[in-house]
Amino acid sequence: MADLQSQDYIRRSATTMTPPSARAHEQEVAKLIDVSRCIGCKACQSACMEWNDLRPEIGHFEGSYDNPMDLGPHVWTLMRFNEWEDEKGNLEWLIRKDGCMHCEDPGCLKACPSPGAIVQYANGIVDFISENCIGCGYCVKGCPFDIPRISPVDHKSYKCTLCSDRVEVGLEPACVKACPTGAIMFGSKSDMTEWAGERIVDLKERGFANAGLYDPPGVSGTHVMYVLHHADRPSIYAGLPDNPRISAFIGVWKGLLKPLALAGIAATAVAGFLHWVVAGPNEVQPEDEAAARKLLHPADKPR
Amino acid sequence: MSNPGGEKLIRNTTAARINHWITGGCFVLLMVSGLSMFHPMLFFLSSLFGGGEWTRAVHPWIGCLLLVSYAGLIVQFWRDNLWNWVDIAWMAAIRRVLANEEEGVPEVPRFNAGQKFVFWSMALLVPVLFSTGIVIWDVYFSPYTTIEQQRIAVLIHSLAAVAAIIIWIIHVYAAIWVRGSVRAMTQGYVTPGWAWRHHRKWLRSLAATNSPGPRPRG
């Protein structure tokens, strides 16, 4: 099947039992995007299209280096370009490779109503299993990063797979392979965190006092991490959320409300049944018919 | 109970009954398809609609039909559902009503406070469900709202749906409990005794105007 009989699930959408997880002895992986090394060449975008056989429709020039202008069913990664002036008036060109962050606590998966349409493997990758996707758009609401896109053609939701098919057989994601400057690295999450640490020390020495790693704790960390030269304000990088977390509305809807709603519905039905057992049916009595007859036909003699 | 050849009062017109059952049919389909997308343990219900994708696709259309259908019910029933002081007195006597001891309970017109509660609750919940449903109807309307608005809409939609389902259970049970009520909505008539027992004020208004129902003449 589409998910190659995976037995290394740690999460499976809309599933109340433990998913197949016997083969879960895997290292957690991470993609590290060092924004400070990115030259904006879009090789990663091309590699993504090439490996995944994606061909978005040709758009129009909109006065921006962003091309295309947004993620889409056929655009799973996108360079977002931002011109930013610091306090001293220096211009910085901030380029961020946008795409699925592969949250440790994925909001899309939590919101998904279809069993097995979204899964998370033991290595941390969050994957959409399209044959189970029903196209409802709940993942869009669950995602704190505005990543999934529903195709208007086949009504399936799409996003970066972190090249789960490549990673499964020991290869790095296509974007990593294509990056000419080493701005995109791939490996175990601990290695990537360590590597990022070295790089951050380096950046701080070069005057980026607020350089840091973007691995947001609000979603229990991510399997795509950024090295940012201005980690104190992620939002300057084309609206990267400062403190992403699954919306409280989604939390209530998918947490408290589910059991409470079923309990309320069941309790009402049980209350009705108990009333039937205790009080029983309310039946019209012969006296009622007689009284009604008297009212409707006052002239008649009582029968 | 049975009233072969006996006197009958029209409780609901043919149009009202057809209107009611279109609404009821839509409601059941919406409840089943909606619950399948609400709780994982009920996802199997989506099979009844040809799978999850069909369920997702068809649910909003049934919702549109229900909105129109319920609007028809509002047009036909709103006058007899206006609140008045009798409703408060009736509510005060709810214990006797529940115990099937209706003597001493204030006489009620065509609808009692419980029925009015169902009517007006649905009159509120149906538009809420429709408007929030439009916001989360991803195929056609997702570009017109923000994701945050959609999150709020989906939560309100679920809350309203749960409330509507609970009220629907009360409605269905009351119809089963008060014998003769189901026939009033299938075949359309009740016996005079039924009217005397449950809606005496209504019966008096029909008798006073020599009307066969469902509303007094004039």
User: Residue A4 — very low, low, confident or very high, per pLDDT cuts 50/70/90?
Assistant: low
Whether the complex's predicted ipTM is more than 0.85 is answered with yes
| Residue A70, pLDDT above cutoff 50 | yes
- Scanning the structure block, which residue is given the tokens 């296509």? A174
Q: How confident is the model at residue A24 (pLDDT cuts 50, 70, 90)?
A: confident
For the segment B109-144, what is each residue's pLDDT rounded down to a tens digit?
999 999 999 999 999 999 999 999 999 999 999 999
Q: How confident is the model at residue A296 (pLDDT cuts 50, 70, 90)?
A: very high
The CA distance from A212 to A290, in Å, is 88
CB < 8 Å from B in window 165-204 of A? none
Whether the Cβ atoms of residue A197 and residue A213 lie closer than 8 Å to each other: yes
- Residue B87's pLDDT is what? 96
At residue A87 the predicted structure's pLDDT band, cuts being 50, 70 and 90, is: confident
Residues of chain A found within 8 Å of residue B98, distances taken between Cβ atoms: 275, 279
Q: How far is CA A11 from CA A7, A107, A221, B3, in A?
A: 11, 12, 16, 61
Question: In chain A, which residue ranges form alpha helices assigned H by DSSP?
Answer: 43-52, 107-111, 138-142, 164-168, 174-178, 189-205, 248-251, 257-278, 286-296
Q: Name which of A58-67, A158-167, A204-213, A250-259 the model is least confident about.
A: A58-67
Mean pLDDT throughout B58-76? 98
DSSP state for residue B189 in the 8-state scheme:
E
Q: Which of B20, B59, B157, B171 is catalytic?
A: B171
Q: How confident is the model at residue B102 (pLDDT cuts 50, 70, 90)?
A: confident
Domain B11-209 adopts which CATH fold?
Answer: Fumarate Reductase Cytochrome B subunit (1.20.950)
User: Which A residues 259-288 touch B at CB under 8 Å?
Assistant: 261-262, 264-265, 268-269, 272, 275-276, 279-286, 288
The domain defined by A9-246 folds into Alpha-Beta Plaits (3.30.70)
Whether residue B171 lies in the annotated active site: yes
- Closest Cα to residue A229, out of A209, A247, A244, A245? A209
Q: Do A292 and B196 touch (CB under 8 A)?
A: yes
CA-closest candidate to residue A131, choices A115, A117, A148, A110: A117
Each domain of chain A, given as residue ranges in start order, spans: 9-246, 253-296
Beta carbons of A121 and A26 less than 8 angstroms apart: yes
pLDDT of residue B140: 97
Q: Is the pLDDT of residue A144 over 70?
A: yes
Predicted TM-score of the model (pTM) = 0.94
User: Best of B43, B53, B168 to disrupt the A interface by mutation (most A CBs within 10 Å)?
Assistant: B53
Domain boundaries, chain B: 11-209
